[in-house]
Amino acid sequence: MATRDPENIRTVALVGHGGSGKTALAEAIAFNTGLTTRMGKVEDGNTVSDFGNEEQKRQISINSSLVSIEHAGRNVYIIDCPGYADFIGELRSSMRVVDSALVVISGVHGVEVQTEKAWEFGEDMQIPMAFYISKMERENADFERTLSEIQDYLSDKAVPLFLPVGKEAAFKGVVDVLRQKAYMYKGDGSSEFNETDVPSDLADYVTSAREVLVERIVEADDELMMRYLEGEQLSMEELVPALRKSVLSRSLFPVLPGASTSNVGVCQLLDAIAEVLPGPLDMPPRKALKGDSEVMVEPDPAGKFSAFCFKIMVDPYVGKLSFIRVFSGSASSENPLYNLSRGEDERVSAFKVMRGKESVDTRDVVVGDIVAIPKLHSTVVGDTLGVKGMDFIYPEIQFAKPVFSVAVRPRSRADEDKLANALNKMLEEDQTLHFEKNPETNDSVLSGMGDLHIDVMLSKIKERYGVELDTETPKVPYRETIKKPSKAQGKYKKQTGGRGQYGDVHIEFVPLSRGDGFLFEDKIVGGAVPKSYIPAVEKGLREALQKGVLAGYPSVDFKASLFFGSYHDVDSSEMAFKIAASMAFKKGMVEASPVLLEPIMNVEVVVPEDYLGDVMGDFNGRRGKIMGIDSRGRLQVVKAQVPLAEMFRYAIILRSMTSGRGNFTMEFSHYEEVPHDIAKKIIAEAEVQEDED
């Protein structure tokens, strides 16, 4: 494949709520640019961008998919991003590497929760954005209503670049507001249309819309503004560059209508992408890190090569594919690259321009290119690639923390042997997936962004690696502590003929503040316990506190002070003093009013206002404390502290409670005492478990 000109490259992420029509749009784009000869359908499982088995089975996008097309002399990289909250990591990583984003919004359902999340990401990253109002041919589709929602909830800088001709089943074309021309489609799904004058019933509407659009455009150019205010007619040759400038500066967000499955308006959208959205050379310098300071990297085609790995995918035939975006310079597959994040050489066998699951090899890459490289040895998501001698890296992607966890157990010994390799591969692909072996509960815990996310991962592990896993709710990592001081003696004396065992300690146990952990203090005077045995006493306590006296959970937040004891010149040993310390621990903790502690989570829930009462009432039933309520546009943000024990299936509950329109984040806050009635049940369950063991 020939080397591309950076001037003609466009990189666009298709973002929005699940089911808004992103994949259908990607399919229509592929068809209209000759990448395919027929349009596939999501429900038929034959689209270019949803090619994974899980995606075809579930009829949703799970992974971001790169579709590279050519249109009007432009090389356009389209990234079709998942719209479901469970796969938000794919959305974030994709938006990190594009120069613009197209927010796809259903003309039927309007602005939805994940629409706002995608918009929020774009705001944070300051990406130029445009809107595509999809499904205009559907019943109840309403362009004006959806436009009003965009302007009310997202940005009042959203301005129509095209307007629809006809409503619902009568939607047959679009009007170019700036050029004041209509494009009427045949209605047979082909890309054929006729250019006509604006229909008479839309003339006033289009004239008014053009005035608004031109006013927005000239706001970004002082000279054009003066001429416009003086009544001068501005030419298209002047307005189009000014429009691009407005989009780049985020002072204007174009809005276009369309119907992807019936292929109406898609050609005009493609023209707008080529003509209006920015390319890599239009973008400002990109922030990078050089030690503890920041540097700015220009998108210079003649500069040193630098690229960022934003995605890893395991292809069943090619193997590991590392997706990179080139931010500066150029590179050839004939030369090795250098992983600046890890200080290792990487051999490049080929650069692959991806078209869904298919690809075309290219020898060279330039600034703006998004390509995949097979079988890189050390590169992971978030790494910077360049050449030796460069001394900066791009910031890693900040992914959201997991909110849903399950304990997993291999179904057979054969599964157990293959599990580590399977998990390592999955974790490399998906940065929002976490796995840990909890030493306290002995659970192997798999965590992700929701139950759907975990279910998909388990299916992938079974399909790819033949590993079947059983799941259950993870155990809560409770703690134990004390509420009052106590003193206890631990005396270990054993005589069995010959040398015996002797250790005697007196220890005071005192509660500490929450989070202080365990402190040991040596208060021995006069050598009652020799210095050589003091470490053994501390070690005995540290080992003993791993299993508390109430339910066998680790004991925390107390100080143990060794203040007296005795020893025997012959029979004393480190082992004897360790055992004596553990004996003192058990006695002392029982007498110090021991209690159970549970982990408390900071939870932030974002929901439409209609669901606010339900969410707050539900938190009350989960022993939650409401810490505050804020507004974020039309959404309500509820901040609460809730016990972890009450949150394991909250992702499922919230989705049901809000019809999928709510989302939440969760992170550990602190430990608190468990209410007495609940603690009694936990202790009783622990006793039963110990008897069974």
CA distance 493 to 128: 77
> Beta strand 9-15 with 100-106: parallel, antiparallel or unpaired?
parallel
Q: How far apart are CA 328 and CA 299, in angstroms?
A: 5
Helices (H), 475-591: 534-544, 574-590
- Check residue 693 and give its pLDDT: 60
* pLDDT reading at 314 higher than 90: no
- pLDDT single digits (tens) 390-408: 999 999 999 988 999 999 9
Q: Summarize the confidence of residues 200-210 as an average pLDDT.
A: 96
Under the banding of pLDDT at 50, 70 and 90, the label for residue 21 is very high
- List pLDDT tens digits, range 48-94: 766 666 677 777 888 899 999 999 999 999 999 998 888 999 999 99
Report the CATH superfamily, name and number, of domain 295-355+369-400: Translation factors (2.40.30.10)
Tell me the DSSP string of 395-433: PPP-PPPP-EEEEEEESSHHHHHHHHHHHHHHHHH-TT-
The residue type at 691: D
Q: Which CATH class is domain 479-592?
A: alpha beta
Tell me what percent of the residues of the chain surpass a pLDDT of 70: 98
Sign of CA dihedral 196, 202, 203, 206: negative
- Judge if pTM exceeds 0.95: no
What span, in angstroms and rounded, lies between the C-alpha atoms of 87 and 119? 16
pLDDT at 611 over 70: yes
Give the right CATH number for 598-678 from 3.30.70.240, 3.10.450.50, 3.40.50.300, 3.40.920.10.
3.30.70.240
Q: Quote the pLDDT of residue 239.
A: 95
pLDDT averaged over every residue in the chain: 93
In contact, 342 and 383? CB cutoff 8 Å = yes
Q: Which of 216, 239, 258 is nearest to 102 (CA)?
A: 258
- Answer positive or negative: Cα dihedral of 576, 581, 582, 587: positive
pLDDT at 50: 65
Q: What dotted CATH number matches 7-282?
A: 3.40.50.300
Which pLDDT value is given to residue 352?
95
- Segment among 400-414, 564-578, 579-593 with least mean pLDDT: 400-414
pLDDT of residue 420: 87
User: Per CATH, is 404-472 categorized as 3.30.70.870?
Assistant: yes
Question: Does residue 492 contact residue 576 with C-beta atoms inside 8 Å?
Answer: yes
Q: Do domains 404-472 and 598-678 have the same CATH topology?
A: yes
Q: How far apart are CA 307 and CA 329, in angstroms?
A: 9
User: Does residue 490 register a pLDDT over 80?
Assistant: yes
Q: Which long-range contacts (CB under 8 A, 24 or more apart) does 320-324 make?
A: 320/374, 320/375, 320/376, 320/428, 321/352, 321/372, 321/373, 321/374, 322/372, 322/373, 322/374, 322/376, 322/379, 323/66, 323/354, 323/370, 323/371, 323/372, 324/370, 324/371, 324/372, 324/373, 324/385
Predicted local distance difference test score (pLDDT) of residue 137: 96
Which pLDDT tens digit goes with each residue over 149-182?
999 999 999 999 999 999 999 999 999 999 999 9
User: Residue 660 has what pLDDT?
Assistant: 80
pLDDT beyond 80 at 599: yes
**Hey, which bits of 644-682 come out as E strands?**
663-673
Asked which of 206-210, 410-414, 468-472, 489-493 is least confident by mean pLDDT, the reply is 410-414
Residue spans per domain, the chain: 7-282, 295-355+369-400, 404-472, 479-592, 598-678
In sequence order, what are the beta bridge partners of 307? 326, 385
Question: Which pLDDT value is given to residue 603?
Answer: 97
Is the pLDDT confidence value at 597 over 80?
yes
**Are β-strands 370-374 and 434-437 bridged in parallel, bridged antiparallel, or unpaired?**
unpaired
Q: What is the pLDDT of residue 662?
A: 86
Name the residue type at position 275: E
Tell how strand 158-160 and strand 253-257 pair up.
parallel
User: Is the dihedral angle over the CA atoms 206, 212, 213, 215 positive or is it negative?
Assistant: positive
Compute the distance between CA of residue 622 and CA of residue 19 in angstroms, rounded to an integer.
32
d(CA 652, CA 665): 13
pLDDT for 280 beyond 90:
yes
C-alpha span between 121 and 96 (Å, rounded): 9
pLDDT for 497 = 67
Q: What is the pLDDT of residues 85-126, one digit of tens each?
A: 889 999 999 999 999 999 999 999 999 888 988 999 999 999
**What confidence tens digit (pLDDT) does each residue in 215-245 have?**
999 998 889 999 999 989 999 999 999 999 9
For the residues 349-356, what does the mean pLDDT come to? 92
Q: Which of 134, 676, 64, 678 is nearest to 430 (CA)?
A: 64
Q: Is the Cα torsion angle 386, 343, 63, 255 positive or negative in sign? A: negative
- Token pair, residue 340, equals 């600046």
Angle at 275 (CA atoms; ends 216, 372), nearest 5 degrees:
125
Across 161-165, 304-308, 684-688, least confident range: 684-688
Tell me the pLDDT tens digit for each residue of 538-550.
Answer: 999 999 999 999 9
